[in-house]
């Protein structure tokens, strides 16, 4: 679904769409489980030069490897969104561009349209946690043998500490 300026000039657009796995391109380490359901509206804001507002709700389950044990971990994304998009202005500068305080939360689009798939891809990726775990109780992998400690204890002993760092223990923070 693509929202064009021409269409939005006449009326806001309501949407209720389900994207099946593979329809929205995700990094290879992530997998969409089931459909991605999104509903909401797109509107062209009055008194602006092409600023589009997208708001609604997205619900999907993403599967990624647990950062502790590498087993599959499901991460639900069930969230409202309220996003603003401005046309990208061509600036002939090779340095940094100064953003005003309110512009940090605004994204930009090229041409005369915004693609809902790209909006959702960006929103889902930014909604994922920095660290993915299968459960808070996950014991992870053994640093010696690599055995998954959630499945069975391995019996490995932790390597002796490197005494060259012993002097740092006495330092106070």
In this prediction, residues 118-123 reach a mean pLDDT of 93
pTM metric for this prediction: 0.77
**How many CB atoms within 10 Å of residue 43?**
16
Q: Which among 38, 40, 4 is positioned nearest to 120, based on CA atoms?
A: 38
- Residue-wise pLDDT tens digits, 92-117: 556 666 666 555 667 888 888 899 99
Asked whether the beta carbons of 58 and 83 are under 8 A apart, the reply is no
């Amino acid at each position: 679904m693509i929202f064009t300026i021409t269409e939005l000039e006449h009326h806001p657009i309501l949407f209720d769409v389900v994207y099946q796995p593979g329809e929205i391109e995700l990094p290879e380490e992530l997998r969409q489980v089931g459909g991605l359901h999104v509903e909401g509206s797109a509107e062209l804001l009055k008194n602006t030069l092409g600023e589009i507002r997208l708001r609604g709700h997205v619900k999907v389950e993403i599967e990624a490897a647990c950062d502790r044990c590498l087993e599959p971990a499901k991460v639900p994304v069930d969230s409202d969104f309220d996003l603003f998009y401005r046309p990208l202005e061509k600036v002939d500068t090779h340095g940094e561009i100064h953003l005003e305080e309110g512009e940090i939360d605004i994204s930009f689009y090229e041409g005369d349209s915004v693609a809902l798939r790209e909006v959702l891809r960006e929103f889902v990726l930014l909604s994922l946690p920095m660290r993915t775990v299968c459960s808070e109780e996950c014991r992870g992998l053994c640093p010696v043998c690599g055995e998954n400690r959630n499945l069975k204890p391995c019996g490995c002993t932790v390597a002796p500490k490197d005494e060259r760092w012993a002097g740092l223990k006495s330092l106070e923070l």
